[in-house]
Amino acid sequence: MSRSVLNVGQVRIHSGSVSKEDAMREAADILEAAGAVTSAYFDAMQQREQAVSTYMGNELAIPHGTNETKNAILDSALSFVRYDGGVDWDGERVTFVVGIAGKGDEHLEILSQIALIFSEEDEIARLKSAQTPEELFGLLSAVNE
């Protein structure tokens, strides 16, 4: 990838909890504000979620669109939101909601970077203890490599 898929403006921390739908809406809104997707991407995320849950384990959900809705993706980008109050993701507790939009096959590379970060309990603990979006962004910088 030739440019960064994540910048500090796409990273947020909320002390409370929201519904799964609200978390997905925020992920889509951040991606849209970054110029990565059209307004149709939220619907694409909902379609994907109806087909298969995007809950990944380790308190992580990665909402994204379907292959049929690739035309809603303008560029590759991520949104990263930590909900300290948790999100009920079909009965699973989610703390981290990572919205993803991948142009072409770039989403596979982005997903592998996210998977590496979330495969380590120490990394997850660091992500949970970050005090600011800037600090959280610093811990996630590997996704831009």
Query: For 116-134, how does the pLDDT look when each residue is reduced to its tens digit (9 = 90+)?
Result: 889 989 999 999 999 999 9
**At residue 63, what is the residue type?**
P
Strand partners, 37: 73
Give me the sign of the Cα torsion angle 76, 108, 82, 119: negative
Name the residue with tokens 């990665």. 62
Residue 17 and residue 87 in contact, taking contact as beta carbons nearer than 8 Å: yes
Q: Which two tokens stand for residue 12?
A: 């947020």
**pLDDT (0 to 100) of residue 1:** 41
Beta strands per DSSP E along 62-114: 77-89, 92-101
Distance CA 75, CA 102 (A): 7
How many other β-carbons are positioned within 10 Å of the β-carbon of residue 85?
Answer: 11
- For 68-119, what is each residue's pLDDT tens digit? 888 999 999 999 999 999 999 999 999 999 999 988 877 788 888 898 889 9
- Please give the residue that has the higher pLDDT: either 141 or 86: 86
Helix pair angle (106-118, 121-129), 10° resolution: 90
Most confident of 2-11, 13-22, 60-69, 98-107: 13-22
How many other β-carbons are positioned within 10 Å of the β-carbon of residue 114?
Answer: 20
- The residue annotated as part of the active site, out of 64, 65, 114, 140, is 64
Strand partners, 12: 81
Element (H, E) at 13: strand 11-14
Q: Which two tokens stand for residue 18?
A: 């929201």
**64 in active site:** yes
pLDDT (mean) for 43-64: 94
Query: pLDDT tier at 56 (50, 70, 90 boundaries)?
Result: very high
**pLDDT (0 to 100) of residue 53:** 94
